[in-house]
Structure 1
Amino acid sequence: MFQTYEEAVGWIHSRLRFGIKPGLKRMEWLMNRLGNPHKKVKTVHVAGTNGKGSTIAYMRNVLTEAGYKTGTFTSPFLETFNERISMNGIPIPDAEMLFLANTIKPLSDELEQTELGGPTEFEIITAMAFYYFGNHEKTDVLLLETGLGGTLDSTNISEPVLTLITSIGYDHMHILGNTIEEIAGEKAGIIKHGVPMLTAVTDERALNVIKRRATEKNADLFHDSFPVLKHEPLRGGERFDMKTPYHSFEGLEISMRGVHQVQNAALAVMALDYLRVHDLFAAGDEHIRKGLHQTNWSGRFEQVSEYPAIILDGAHNKEGAESLAAVMRRHYAGKRIHVLFSALKDKEYSPMISILAGIADSMHFTTFDFPRAACASELYEACTHPVKSFHEDWKEAIDEMMAAGESGDIYLVTGSLYFISEVRPYCRKISHGN
């Protein structure tokens, strides 16, 4: 038995060495031994290349505003490990995490002796989340984010009331496939028999895969029935009108920036409206307005300092970089922009670097303390921008980037969400005059 929270989290992280082992057999074994807690809570299952976290955050705030006890299972975390299992946006206490680890550890040891082998880090965390929310009498709804793909993701043992796919893009290709169709097929694996599917995917190749899967599963599909009708940027976010098959919404405002965030918010509103019309969760118009507007998602176009202007964004794939570049052009036209970038070595980082270099006055590269992090020099070599530098020490890289700029410039720190997690506290401490 673990005596401290630190011991428990250390054990969970130690399972990372088992890597990614696709398949649901280990999760089914664990859930069976735990009394199938995943069947005891109403769940909305969310997959997609980008936008999962933001879409869940919008839904969480609206449902919480409407008075529901709303659980979320998301990844990765930014500041505390407990963020991954949260209630109403508040990470569960350390004592609860310790209890959950001590509950799962004996089962993990037992499973390791079977032909299935021991569970991975993500399987253990998923089991902990299901056990917590399934046995927590106050959980009204669980918003469940896939870790990787969908079909063989450990979250896919859930029995949801609604499924969502936010977007399809090129990411985790070494596992999910090399084509949009293959990746879409993996994501569409969350579609369950008779369970409605909502998607913001517009790529026809991906959409055709989703349509076929929905037909096979006799699942109602909503993909073009919740259009954004009008959209304008605000100084602190976006304003838009939209309609669903059930209602029209005018002048909705969000505090996160970018066309992609409007799409995420519209998908969230469609999901909430569906749940309301079908008497699952009754979030009213005012709950929707208030919940959307107060939503912020740490590390997603997050301005952590005004003077100097430092923005953090976990754009960790090509589509994310394209959305980020579009937001920067839209909101910071005419400003000098300095970019600090770091990525995982198993990512297709060259296209990301090229996209970001297109908006940058200077490019800076670094690495961070993570087994799969790319070397700063490798990233530097992949960049053709004429003004560039690299430091293996990320604090030195941040300091050099800041020194390269002038008053009024914009400093953008981006790349892997694991990188953003590591540097965010330091960036938040930077203030004018340091």
Structure 2
Amino acid sequence: MINTYDEALNFIHGRTKFKKIPTLKRMRRFLDELGAPDKKINAIHIAGTNGKGSTLAFLRNIFQAEGKTVGSFTSPFLVKFNERISVNGVGISDDDILRLTQELYPTIAKLDAELPEGGPTEFEIVTAMMFKYFAEGHADIVLIEVGLGGLYDSTNVIVPKVSVITSIGWDHMHILGDTLPKIAFQKAGIIKEGVPVVVGGVDPDPLEVIVHQAAKKHSPIKILGKDFHVNDLGEQNWVQSFDFDSSNLHLHQLQTDLIGDYQTHNAALAVQAYNEYQKLHNQPIDSEVIRRGIRNTRWAGRFEPIATRPAIVLDGAHNISAVDLIVDTLENDFPKGHIYVLMGILADKQADKMVEKMATVPNVSIVLTQFAGPGKRAAANPEKLEHKLQTRPQNVSAIDDWQSAISELKRKLTPDDMLLITGSLYFISDVRKFLKNPGMNFK
């Protein structure tokens, strides 16, 4: 029996991660046994290779600025498991995690006994907990981030009010496919019959797949750069400014603390999704609500400065597409001073390509390091990774122990320099805990 919060977490994390054959039938059966809680919530569904979390954070803050109570489902967590299911940005309580696990347990045991492939996976259980919690009425609207892909993701039982596809890039190719159109097909799996879909900056070939799927589902589609536009006005003193334009909405000099042109694109997706949601419900669109929501948005681990002069920044970039965006930000907004990059990357990612791309920044030095990966997923060995690099750039070295690497790099910083710690959300989660140590004295 499960009697404590820790026992609940051990039970959840002890479940299988994946089944051999992707399907939503097991998830549908699981939820139907629980009374179909997914059919009792008001949701927006968000998929994409990168930008899901930031887009969700912008959208959450816009709805909160309007006075709504907003539920969120995100992954992974940075500090504590409870963050995955949150209300107005605050993770649910340990007692709720325990209660929900206890309530789901009999159904899980029943499916374990009855289904040939066994009962629900870890992510299916967490997803069901989220649906059950929000079906109890804890939020006016729930923003649901896809875990992986879209088509067969366990969140994809939901019929939302609006769907969002933020970006299509290279990640999880062993599961989603080895071309961008194949990956786009998986992400476009979240498009539902007649439900409006908002799409970010996607290359023409994968975009064609999304547009085709939207047409098949009779879903009205709005595309960034075609139906709505963002004009980046640059970064100053760690504040990014931009304009937003669509057929019915023109907003000038919006400001956010989330740095990078890609963050203004994520913000634009959130504004357009809010726009679509309000129109659907015949609700007014308040430009001041949008302005305040964007300004109030924080999203830990997304080019997040934890100190300035010298700057120390955390970013959870964990694939080549995300590194491309960081490189653009560094080259456009941070040409002065030297940039020291500490990278800890999971071994199942395109680690060599990520490092080689980061090494193209003119004023950068990269240190590769190692960390304890989640579960059975290992981090890339820094020495092996260094030898694997095809171009063997001169500005790349390795230090196994990441705590020592942070201390060593910190000593090198001058006021105009930056220490960027990146490569994996799991890595920066560990780093964040370490930086809480008063002895580090980063502030």
Listed one character per residue, the Cα deviations across residues 90-127 of structure 1 (whole Å, up to 9, x for unaligned) are 10011101111111222222211222412211111101
How do 1:128-139 residues align onto structure 2 when only pairs under 5 Å count? 128-135=129-136, 137-139=137-139
Change beyond 3 A, Cα 1:423–1:280: farther
SS in 1 for 2:144: strand
Matched, 1:427 2:435: yes
1:185-212 CA distance string (max 9 Å, x none): 0000000011111101331001100011
Cross-structure match for 2:383: 377
Q: In the alignment, which residue of structure 1 is the partner of 2:369?
A: 366
Measure, in 2, the Cα distance between the counterparts of 1:351 and 1:160.
36
The residue matched to 1:155 in structure 2 has which SS?
helix
User: Where does residue 326 of structure 1 map in the other structure?
Assistant: 328
**CA-to-partner distance for each residue in 1:243-299, whole Å, 9 max, x for gaps?**
222221112111111110010001110111121222266562111111101111100
The match for 1:71 is 71
What's the offset of the Cα at 1:14? 1.3
Match of 1:262 in 2: 264
Distance 2:442 2:199 in 1: 46
* CA deviation after TM superposition for structure 1 residue 354, in Å: 0.9
Q: Which residue of 2 aligns with 1:26?
A: 26
Alpha-carbon deviation of 1:138? 3.5
SS at match of 2:235: strand
Paired AA for residue 372 in structure 2: D
Q: Which one-letter code corresponds to 2:396 in the other structure? A: K
Three-state SS of the structure 2 residue aligned to 1:246 is: coil
Decide whether the 8 Å contact of 1:13 with 1:121 is kept in 2.
Answer: yes
- Residue 307 and residue 227 in structure 1: after superposition, are their counterparts in 2 closer, same or farther (change >3 A)? closer
SS at match of 1:347: coil
How much has 1:407 moved relative to structure 2? 4.7
* Deviates most, 410-419 or 244-253: 244-253
Match of 2:359 in 1: 357
What's the CA shift for 1:215?
A: 0.8
Aligned-residue offset at 1:381: 2.3
What secondary structure does 1:15 align onto? coil
Aligned pair partner of 1:416 in 403, 406, 424: 424
Is 1:106 equivalent to 2:106 in the alignment?
A: yes
**Whole-Å separation in 2 of the counterparts to 1:263 and 1:433:** 30
Structure 1, unpaired ranges of 5+: none
Alignment TM-score, normalising by the size of structure 2: 0.93
- Give the Å deviation of 1:368: 1.4
- State whether structure 2 residue 128 is matched by structure 1 residue 127: yes
- Provide the residue aligned with 1:8 in structure 2: 8
Moved more, 84-93 or 233-242: 233-242
Q: Per-residue displacement from partner, 1:118-158 (whole Å, max 9, x unpaired)?
A: 221111110110111112x2421110010010000000000
Report how many residues are paired: 433
Deviation at 1:389, TM superposition (A): 3.0
Secondary structure of the 1:125 match is helix
**Residues 1:112 and 1:153: Cα distance change in structure 2 (over 3 Å):** same
Equivalent in the alignment of 2:199: 199
Letter of the structure 1 residue corresponding to residue 427 of structure 2: F
Q: Tell me, what secondary structure is at the counterpart of 1:31?
A: helix
Identity of aligned residues (%): 41
Give the deviation of 1:34 after TM superposition.
0.8
Q: CA deviation at 1:388?
A: 3.5
3-state SS, counterpart of residue 118 of structure 1: coil
| Amino acid corresponding to residue 120 of structure 2 in structure 1 | P
Preserved CA contact (<8 Å) 2:309 2:417: no
Contact 1:62/1:283 (CA < 8 Å) preserved in 2? no
Aligned partner letter, 1:415: G
1:82 CA drift (Å) = 0.5
Larger CA deviation: 397-406 vs 350-359: 397-406
Q: C-alpha separation between the residues in 1 aligned to 2:252 and 2:23?
A: 44
Match of 1:169 in 2: 169
Residue by residue over 1:320-375, the C-alpha shift from the partner in whole angstroms, topping out at 9 and shown as x without a partner, is 10111111122221211111101111111111101111225321111211222222
Give the corresponding residue for 2:399.
Answer: 391
425 and 433 in structure 1: CA distance in 2 versus 1, 3 angstrom threshold: closer
SS of the aligned residue for 1:147 comes to coil
> Contact conserved, 2:336 with 2:416, CA < 8 A, in 1?
no
The letter for the 2-side match of 1:427 is L
CA contact (8 A) 1:307 1:432 kept: no
Identify the match of residue 243 of structure 1 among 225, 242, 245. Answer: 245
